[in-house]
Structure 1
């Protein structure tokens, strides 16, 4: 059998394979670390706003309806709100029931992640 022949299973050790493997491992580790930092950056930047309770506020009319998923208050939705104070359309992620187009909302949200809560729904 092949397992009994030493020459068939013996390889000359040069260390090149280990160096290539370690370089590949380190490269993958650096790439994963960079992607993790980029993903968590907005959450870290919002921490002072959470600690000091300095939320951003917007109020205006919803420009697109959000009816995806179930009509329950724990459903995560992206809403597009035309903020009449800043005169700009912003996208905010909230947990809410269905949101219809042209609904007037008052929203508080975090400035970097754009996660927020609906304060008033008219």
Structure 2
């Protein structure tokens, strides 16, 4: 696991929660997504050949679960499949917020903030790459 990335992820999540509490939902969505991105990177480790993780690819690799269960089959559902859709939704919220200038729904964002907190707990518990 890359500890400094997980530390950044936790800071970004704190920022996202503070922004949410101040009703800055679009900014909160963006910070929450990057909290999840850094957390997944921390768990997976650096990508091969010094590249960076692509946004949808990191979600795909993360939910497979090989970073904590290397013997899990390469095909079929991932071990964290229940996180795939919420993480993709959070990514789409980040796009809507940062590029499309569309207001983010408070209720749905609150649920996604909880998913990011769950992610941090899973990574803390299981370690990673």
TM-score band w.r.t. shorter chain: under 0.3
Structure 1 or 2: more helix by fraction: 2
**TM-score normalized with structure 2 length:** 0.24
Higher-strand-fraction structure: 1
Structure with greater Cα Rg:
1
Q: TM-score, normalised by structure 1?
A: 0.25
Higher RCO by CA contacts (8 Å cutoff, separation 6 or greater): 2
